Amino acid sequence: MPARTLIDRRDEFQRALAAWYRQHARRLPWREAPSLYKTVVSEFMLQQTQVRTVLPYFARWLDALPDFSALAAAPEARVLKLWEGLGYYSRARNLHRLARAVVALPAPPRTPEAWRELPGIGPYTAAAITSISFGAPAACVDGNVVRILARLTADSTGFRDSASASKAFAALAAALLPPKNPGDHNQAMMELGATVCFRQNPACTVCPVLDFCAARLTGAPEDFPKLAPKKIEQRAVTRVWCEHGGRLLLHRAASHARRLADLHELPEPAALGLEADALAADGSTLLATGKRGITRYQITEKIHAARLTPALQRRIAAEPDSLRWIPLDQLDTVTLSGPHRRWVTEILAKRKKTEPSAASRGSAP
DNA sequence: AAGTCGGGGAG
DNA sequence: CTCCCAGACTT
């Protein structure tokens, strides 16, 4: 019974982990002069996103919106712009709504249950925020913790997804949580997962809790946890590059759209009343091919140039909210999805290199 | 319970 | 290329 052994040696395990964490904790910006606001912002950004990716966004965000009041008072366009490229944009919208809810309260909630009522707060984030900021006895169960607990106990259960795995390890995580400094314990567990107990090639030789690990005895710690692989689906999308008078045509998703609400992307043919096939058959120039991935989709996007016809012009005039002409020198003022920001930048840079005169047309003295 | 969010980075 | 990641929300 590895699980029983681990719980029996709980105090010893906690001490070994805590001693390691004191010595090896990374210096991260949300750990310097920690505050509730920094903790909340970092936890939102870190949902499904690695520390390395978050770092520049976090710095920029704190600089622009230093506290709940500033965030609550900010227009949503500014919030989205600061989130541009980080992905999963509902996180930004939820964080914004959360800030407005928090400043409307006499004081921020202090329990996981109360935080769960706020937008964007699930079991993990509620436990992280309240244990770190208020010392609440709530155990975090994220991907790191699942991996560590599955290995400590050599649990060979086949989980269909990460949600069910988290649920399965919630009780053990709670049993291992010390009453003192639960926030540090939670962070130590995740730190161990991120810097030692890697998904592949775990650094067992430097693990502070190797002595408690049942998977080590099996000789194949990377076999745990057993998670069902997800199958990838390929998709193909055509995009339209329509430029006229130094302006680029972009499509803005509606505020209530399920995806990319209020964000801009290069329009799909359908949004312009065009047929994708006709566009390609028309012999229009293929400007670029890009790939993007999201969850189980691998999407290939072909960006075709299209001329501004009278019919297209009418269509654009009829949809002023979603089809917008953005001057090329003002593209920075709108928020694009990460991939489209990249591709638009690349296309413009390439053209500027091959035809320097075209890029400066109209703005030359 | 399953599907979706239209991501990004490192190996 | 592939795989993983400090999850939450909707249906």
Q: Is the CB of A184 under 7 A from strand C?
A: no
CB atoms inside a 10 Å sphere around CB A305? 16
Distance CA A187, CA A176 (A): 13
Cβ pair A266, A238 in contact under 8 A? no
- Tokens 């047929």 sit on residue: A275
Q: Which nucleotide is nearest to A91 if distance is taken from CA to C1'?
A: C8
- Tokens 């609550």 sit on residue: A72
Distance A124 CA to B10 C1' (A): 25
User: What pLDDT does A285 receive?
Assistant: 87
Distance CA A226, CA A266 (A): 40
**pLDDT 10s per residue in chain A (365 long)?**
445 579 999 999 999 999 999 999 999 999 999 999 999 999 999 998 888 889 999 999 999 999 999 999 999 999 999 999 999 999 999 999 999 999 999 999 999 999 999 999 999 999 999 999 999 999 999 999 999 999 999 998 888 888 889 999 999 999 999 999 999 999 999 999 999 999 888 999 999 999 999 999 888 899 999 888 777 888 889 999 999 999 999 999 999 888 899 999 999 999 999 887 777 677 678 999 998 888 788 889 999 999 999 999 999 999 999 999 999 999 999 999 999 999 999 999 888 777 665 444 444 33
> Angle CA(A197)–CA(A217)–CA(A206) in degrees, nearest 5?
35
Cβ pair A35, A129 in contact under 8 A? no
Calculate the alpha carbon distances from A339 to A120, A342, A345, A354 in Å: 24, 5, 10, 23
- Of A39, A58, A364, A356, residue with least CA distance to A184: A39
- Active-site hit among A32, A43, A275, A301: A43
- Tokens read off for A58: 């976090």
DSSP H helical ranges for A104-181: 112-116, 123-134, 143-152, 162-176
User: What pLDDT does A183 receive?
Assistant: 96
Q: Which amino acid is at A207?
A: C
Cite residues whose beta carbon is less than 7 Å from strand B: A 48-50, 52-53, 85-90, 160-161, 163-164, 235, 237, 258-261, 263, 292-297, 299, 337-339
Q: Which residues contact A70 (CB under 8 A, 6 or more apart)?
A: A64
Q: What domains lie within chain A, and their CATH numbers?
A: 2-227 (1.10.340.30), 233-359 (3.90.79.10)
Residue nearest to nucleotide B1 (CA to C1'): A164
Distance A116 CA to C9 C1' (A): 13
Q: Catalytic residue at A265?
A: no
> Helix, strand, coil proportions of chain A in percent (round to 5)?
55, 15, 35
Calculate the alpha carbon distances from A167 to A5, A225, A339 in Å: 21, 13, 34
User: What pLDDT does A356 receive?
Assistant: 64
